[in-house]
């Protein structure tokens, strides 16, 4: 198994994809955190008279949310590339069982996703220093970073599962982007308008929202003492779960996608 994981890392770092997606991650984190002051302005009231609030946490959380899209794309493209370039044949011939190939790939893409989140935080903090944002405490920064790493890693694994299930690279990419950027937002709006309070609260449990809620809640707790307000504002959901609950929700979605990939991949004919 360790050999298979090493093989996946060697594949990952022998093509340009990982840094081609790292570039927009870094650029977006730089921009978002430089101009983070504007975007968290709505929170300033809560800190009236207490000096400059550590608004960097808010902009960091927002850039981590953006990073999760690239982590997902990395997983999708990596998994589907094996089918596109027909390297999946070699991967299956050199491993004992297709499940192990998927697991090894999920480990490597998850790690790259976490790397994207780490790069987001490092660049974001540097940008915050340049922009003289209020800097957060080490504990709060560590908490946001840890949750951000987990969310990005989960999204990379979820993307890997999607890429494996759909296997056509272009289709998988379009489906992922449309869902993450458009479809879930529409779905959340529809659910939010529902008169049924249960349905209205469901939006927070959709995968993109769950990942966002996790980082916004943990950032909001450090900023405002309670993360619900920030999570509701930025993720556009009502009555979100706490950060750890949201992480579990995203983990459940990821597990469901991985199980589907395992089931579909197990019997698929590789012709």
Partner 1 sequence: MTEDGGRVGVRGLTKRFGPVAAVSDLSFDAPPGAVTGFLGPNGSGKTTTLRMILGLVAPTAGEARINGVPFAALQRPARVVGAVLEAQGFHPARTGRRHLLACAAAVGVPDAAVDVGLGAVGLIDAADRAVGGYSLGMQQRLALAVAMLGDPQVLILDEPGNGLDPEGIAWMRSFLRGFAARGGTVLVSSHLLGEIEQTADHLVVVSRGRCVYQGGLDQLRASRRARVLVRCADPGGLARALATAGIVEIDTLPDGRLGVADADAVRVGDVALAAGVAVHGLVEETIDLEQLFFQLTTGAWRG
Residues 214-233 that bind partner 1 (CB under 8 A): none
Nearer CB in complex with partner 1: 193/267: 267
Residues 251 to 270 in contact with partner 1, rule: CB under 8 A:
267, 269-270
Q: Is position 23 an interface residue for partner 1 (rule: CB under 8 A)?
A: no
Residues 6+ apart with CB under 8 A from 156: 71, 72, 74, 75, 109, 110, 112, 113, 114, 116
> Rounded to the nearest whole angstrom, what is the least distance from the CB of residue 139 to partner 1 in the complex?
39
Q: Which of residues 82-111 bind partner 1 (CB under 8 A)?
A: 85-87, 89-97
State in angstroms the smallest separation of the CB of 98 from partner 1: 9
DSSP class of residue 240 equals P
Q: Which C-beta is closer to partner 1: that of 11 or that of 221?
A: 11
CA distance 225 to 89: 52
Question: Which residues, other chains included, contact 92 with Cβ-Cβ below 8 Å and sequence gap of 6+?
Answer: 98, 101, 270
- What's 241's DSSP letter? P
For 240, phi then psi, to 5°, come to -70, 155
Farthest-apart Cα atoms in the chain, separation: 68
Contacts with partner 1, 54-83, as mask; x by CB under 8 A: ---------------------------x--
Nearer to partner 1, 81 or 118 (CB): 81
Nearest approach in angstroms of CB 5 to partner 1 is: 8
Cβ contacts of 25 within 8 Å, gap of 6 or more: 66, 67, 70, 116, 119, 120
Which is closer to partner 1, CB of 97 or CB of 197? 97
Q: How many residues does the chain have?
A: 271
Closest to partner 1 by CB, 42 or 87? 87
Residue 195 to residues 6, 120, 239, Cα–Cα distance (Å): 51, 38, 14
Kindly determine how many residues on this chain lie close enough to bind partner 1 according to the rule CB under 8 A: 27
Binding site for partner 1 (CB under 8 A): 3-4, 6-8, 10-11, 14-16, 81, 85-87, 89-97, 267, 269-271
């Amino acid at each position: 198994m360790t050999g298979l994981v090493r093989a996946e890392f060697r594949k990952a770092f022998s093509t340009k994809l990982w840094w081609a997606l790292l570039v927009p991650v870094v650029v977006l984190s730089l921009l978002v955190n430089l101009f983070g002051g504007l975007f968290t302005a709505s929170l300033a009231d809560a800190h009236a008279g207490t000096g400059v609030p550590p608004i960097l946490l808010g902009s960091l959380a927002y850039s981590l949310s953006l990073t999760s899209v690239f982590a997902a794309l990395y997983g999708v493209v990596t998994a589907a590339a094996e089918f596109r370039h027909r390297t999946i044949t070699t991967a299956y011939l050199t491993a004992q069982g297709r499940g192990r190939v998927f697991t090894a790939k999920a480990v490597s893409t998850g790690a790259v996703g976490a790397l994207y989140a780490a790069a987001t935080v490092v660049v974001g903090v540097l940008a915050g220093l340049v922009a003289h944002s209020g800097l957060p405490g080490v504990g709060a920064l560590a908490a946001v970073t840890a949750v951000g790493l987990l969310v990005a890693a989960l999204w990379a694994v979820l993307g890997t599962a999607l890429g494996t299930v759909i296997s056509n690279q272009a289709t998988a990419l379009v489906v992922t982007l449309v869902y993450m950027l458009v479809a879930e937002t529409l779905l959340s709006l529809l659910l939010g308008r529902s008169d049924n309070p249960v349905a209205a609260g469901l939006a927070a449990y959709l995968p993109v929202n769950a990942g966002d809620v996790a980082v916004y809640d943990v950032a909001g707790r450090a900023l405002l003492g309670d993360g619900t307000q920030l999570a509701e504002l930025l993720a556009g959901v009502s009555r979100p779960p706490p950060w750890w609950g949201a992480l579990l929700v995203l983990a459940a979605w990821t597990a469901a996608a991985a199980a589907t990939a395992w089931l579909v991949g197990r019997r698929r004919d590789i012709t």
